[in-house]
């Protein structure tokens, strides 16, 4: 049984179809990359799985560990081990990194989580979350906090535009940290080079999964048949 199984999911805003019969499965202990260009529906999918306010599917199923979770509130889904990181900037300005990492932590030492994301605890534990930290450092700290929650499924939604905050190699290193904690990861990105670190990948276009397979096959498909070319219609 997959850890996350999405079947024929539809979602619309003001009559506009955003997700259209989308089906996707993420297996236990799998790193699954979801590739799609801007506006293809990646973040919408993440919000539907998390159960964010205003995001309820018009039809379809969202099964987590075999159980339908559509009716569960965001905190109930979090209790089951579903977490999100990355798209939103950290909202905990002014507290220390050590306190921030203890907030949602199930167990373990903040230092361990910092090391996992490539930050030296002796340098960062007593720093304050403020503008003196670079965007990349803040992203790593946020990812350390997701690790501390010991999620069963971490959904990492990389921002679509602007600077890519972490290099591909940095992302690979951090994701290995998640793997070590037996978390499954749905890594959402627009960079096909990131797909190569996954166990499997899927391409999203026009609100549908148009291709699932090995990372190299999906990256190739994405590169040659980008949604820009097909003008947003599923390719
Ligand atoms: P991605 O994360 O792949 O860039 P999104 O999920 O953010 O894509 O958006 C998918 C589509 O849904 C886009 O066409 C976007 O304009 C539209 N969309 C997203 N949120 C809203 C909203 N709140 N109101 C209207 N349209 C929206
Ligand atoms: Mg997005």
Write out pLDDT tens, residues 72-114: 998 899 889 998 876 555 566 788 999 888 877 777 889 999 9
Residue 38 CB less than 6 A away from ligand 1: yes
123-159: pLDDT as tens digits: 999 999 988 998 888 888 988 988 888 899 999 888 7
The pLDDT of residue 175: 84
145 in Cβ contact with 124 (< 8 Å):
no
**The two structure tokens encoding residue 184:** 């499954």
The pLDDT of residue 226: 66
Find the 30 Cα to ligand 2 centroid distance in Å.
21
Hey, is 187 helix, strand or coil?
strand
Helix H or strand E segment including 32: strand 31-35
The minimum-distance atom of ligand 1 relative to the CA of 45 is 6
CA–CA separation, 160 and 7 (whole Å): 25
1-51: pLDDT as tens digits: 999 999 999 999 999 999 999 999 999 999 999 999 888 999 999 999 999
Residue 232 has pLDDT above 60, yes or no: no
Residue 174 has pLDDT above 90, yes or no: no
Find the 49 Cα to ligand 2 centroid distance in Å.
14
Measuring from atom 14 of ligand 1, which residue has the nearest CA?
A: 39
Residues in Cβ contact with 174 at an 8 Å cutoff, skipping those fewer than 6 apart: 116, 117, 118, 140, 143, 166
The verdict on pTM exceeding 0.85 is yes
- Among 45, 36, 47, which residue's Cα sits nearest to residue 18? 45
């Amino acid at each position: 049984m997959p850890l996350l199984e999405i079947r024929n999911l539809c979602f619309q805003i003001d009559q506009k179809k955003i997700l259209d019969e989308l089906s996707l499965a993420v297996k236990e202990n799998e790193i699954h990359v979801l590739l799609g260009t801007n506006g293809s529906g990646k973040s919408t999918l993440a919000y539907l799985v998390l159960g964010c306010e205003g995001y309820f599917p018009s039809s379809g199923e969202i099964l987590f560990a075999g159980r339908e979770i559509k009716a569960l509130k965001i905190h109930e889904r979090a209790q089951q081990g579903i977490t999100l990181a990355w798209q939103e900037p950290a909202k905990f300005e002014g507290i220390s990194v050590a306190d921030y990492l203890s907030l949602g932590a199930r167990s373990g030492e903040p230092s361990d989580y910092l090391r996992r994301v490539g930050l030296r605890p002796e340098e960062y534990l007593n720093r304050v979350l403020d503008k003196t930290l670079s965007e990349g450092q803040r992203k790593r700290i946020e990812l350390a906090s997701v690790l501390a929650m010991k999620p069963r499924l971490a959904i990492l939604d990389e921002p679509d535009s602007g600077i890519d905050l972490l290099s591909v190699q940095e992302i690979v290193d951090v994701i290995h940290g998640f793997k070590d904690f037996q978390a499954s990861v749905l890594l959402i990105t627009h960079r096909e080079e990131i797909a190569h670190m996954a166990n499997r990948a899927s391409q999203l276009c026009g609100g549908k999964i148009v291709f699932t397979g090995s990372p190299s096959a999906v990256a190739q498909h994405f590169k040659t048949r980008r949604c820009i070319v097909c003008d947003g219609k599923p390719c």
